[in-house]
């Protein structure tokens, strides 16, 4: 998941530099969503709600 977040952030940065504001915003929104999902999953694992075994 971290890989997808980094890819979307790179796409957002390159699109912003080239002037593609809508594409940049879309990629940034996707990255934000994945960051929130990753943080929620991390907290669930940290507090023992989800077991990784």
DSSP for 3-35?
HHHHHHHHHHHHHHHHT-HHHHHHHHHHHHHHH
Per-residue pLDDT, 50: 84
pLDDT at 1: 87
Structural domain range at position 38: 1-47
Domain count, the chain: 1
Domain-embedded: residue 41: yes
Please indicate, yes or no, if residue 53 is contained in any of the structural domains. Answer: no
Q: How far apart (Å, rounded) are the C-alpha atoms in residues 34 and 22?
A: 18
Distance CA 36, CA 15 (A): 22
- Residue 49 confidence (pLDDT): 87
Residue 5 structure tokens = 């977040």
Please report whether residue 32 resides in a domain.
yes
In a domain, 14, yes or no: yes
Residue 15 in any domain: the answer is yes
Whole-number pLDDT of residue 51: 79
1-53: pLDDT as tens digits? 899 999 999 999 999 999 999 999 999 999 999 999 999 999 999 998 887 76
In a domain, 52, yes or no: no
């Amino acid at each position: 998941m971290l890989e997808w977040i980094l890819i979307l952030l790179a796409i957002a940065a390159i699109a912003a530099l080239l002037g593609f504001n809508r594409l940049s915003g879309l990629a940034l929104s996707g990255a934000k969503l994945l960051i929130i999902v990753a943080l929620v999953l991390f907290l669930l694992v940290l507090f023992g709600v989800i077991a990784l075994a």
